[in-house]
Structure 1
């Protein structure tokens, strides 16, 4: 199922107008339950939610690798994650009622109503744990060719099936050796979480991976990449100054403005073979 919706609309062009059918993304709320921590609420394109949950946990520093996850189960668009680490519900006593409902393995209807009433954090602005107390510089000696960057962004666009139909999602691509993972979502953060989660399940060496995606590169996106150890991030969009600062501190190679036959390297240029 593509989770697409067709709507009859009026299109105006060159002084003329006519009725056409336009595709749009049928986005939905996803609730993420991690151990007994307060639930998180996201607006998502509700496919590949298991990959998203794994990537989110990695990017938020809640797990170190895929083996830390004991189980993942889906109940509609609700995702329940259990890890072997200690995530204590005492971190937020006000959510105790929600924790008790989850222990009872309910259908989450009352939980969702409570969340809508209280309001919860969303990852669309970078996540709950969006700051690093310290940054360990990435020491990977992995390199890619300059011409490959142009090819990767073209491949990203060519394979973005939902974007081609709607122009309403972001797309992320993770490359490891000759393997490529592509995921799409209405949130650029969730799209990146999905490819990270899928790669983690496959056991990819993140120090030899890189990500290409559509979207700006602020600090919270770079923090996600730093946490999992990916050395290169590429985008057809712009970085934020906060992203440049974090990329520099984390020794992450940040490439932006990949358009036509050009791009801009903002940090750690040594990982790009400029003559190839």
Structure 2
């Protein structure tokens, strides 16, 4: 059987990238430079439905995505969630020019005779770029109130940051045998491992850390959160909601993740490797080797 390779989304390749000024830390050399980030922005999916003479509109979902191929994303979402049964149920999918953010609002018009009951979707969807769906409804739902966190100055040394990953190896037994888990870990500012949780979903691993910390009344505002994967908006949102102020990750952050860290004064370190890491925000809180 022959397989046809479809052309890539060239629009996403140009609009899906943002830049951020970072401090690249290496042993013996620190450089202030620019780094490329994958762009993350919300897309609201609205549904147009009803008879030809009486069309109605319903805000169905907000998904955090990389801009580009938005129509494909919306069509696939409606099919995969069972909202429509066939691609032919859709008349059109276009950006909503009347919206406050037309480039981030897509309206999908369903066939006139298609039965669509918005009451089934009153919980609506707030979906992220990497996990399932949960209950929030429109772009405005992202304007949440993050609790005021402890603003006492914090500092962590370069040597402590470099030491974190190695301290986890002996404790990741499931990962050792399967290679299929994400991890979240909590350290104190001296680099002592306090707890480790694993899960096939990186959001779940973080939620486990937050849950056990809450049960044991652990103050997270003076701890280091270590994460195994890349950092999207929701990972930073979850951390900010519980007062975490230093995040160190093996992977790359998205543009929206960096924006939120800058807004909330969270120290964000990514691309942690054996002898290098990038500081995306809060470089004044990292004690660098002279």
TM-score (norm 2): 0.50
Deviates more, 1:204-213 or 1:135-144: 135-144
Deviation at 1:237, TM superposition (A): 0.7
User: Structure 2 vs 1, CA of residues 121 and 183 (structure 1 numbering), >3 Å: closer, same or farther?
Assistant: same
Deviation at 1:176, TM superposition (A): 3.7
Structure with more of its chain in helix, by fraction: 1
* RMSD of aligned residue pairs (Cα, Å): 3.0
Q: Is the 8 A contact 1:251 1:267 kept in 2?
A: yes
> Are 1:152 and 2:190 counterparts?
no
SS in 2 for 1:275: coil
Deviation at 1:200, TM superposition (A): 1.5
> Are 1:186 and 2:191 counterparts?
no
User: Structure 2 vs 1, CA of residues 127 and 217 (structure 1 numbering), >3 Å: closer, same or farther?
Assistant: farther
- For residue 144 of structure 2, what is the aligned residue in structure 1? 133
Pairing partner for 1:245 from 250, 259, 262: 259
Pairing partner for 1:261 from 264, 270, 275: 275
User: Structure 2 vs 1, CA of residues 128 and 143 (structure 1 numbering), >3 Å: closer, same or farther?
Assistant: farther
User: Structure 2 vs 1, CA of residues 170 and 126 (structure 1 numbering), >3 Å: closer, same or farther?
Assistant: farther
Deviation at 1:156, TM superposition (A): 2.5
- For residue 15 of structure 2, what is the aligned residue in structure 1? none
What are the residue-to-residue correspondences of 1:108-127 with 2, within 5 Å? Answer: 124-125=131-132, 127=134
Larger-Rg structure: 2
- For residue 274 of structure 1, what is the aligned residue in structure 2? 288
Q: Is the 8 A contact 2:251 2:270 kept in 1?
A: yes
SS in 2 for 1:206: coil
User: Structure 2 vs 1, CA of residues 166 and 140 (structure 1 numbering), >3 Å: closer, same or farther?
Assistant: farther
- For residue 206 of structure 1, what is the aligned residue in structure 2? 220
TM-score (norm 1): 0.53
Q: Is the 8 A contact 1:126 1:221 kept in 2?
A: no
Deviation at 1:261, TM superposition (A): 1.2
Q: Is the 8 A contact 1:126 1:220 kept in 2?
A: no
Deviation at 1:174, TM superposition (A): 0.9
- In 2, Cα distance between the equivalents of 1:131 and 1:125? 16
Structure 1 gap segments, 5+ residues each: 1-91, 97-117
SS in 1 for 2:142: coil
SS in 2 for 1:259: coil
> Are 1:218 and 2:229 counterparts?
no
> Are 1:172 and 2:184 counterparts?
yes
Number of aligned pairs?
A: 164
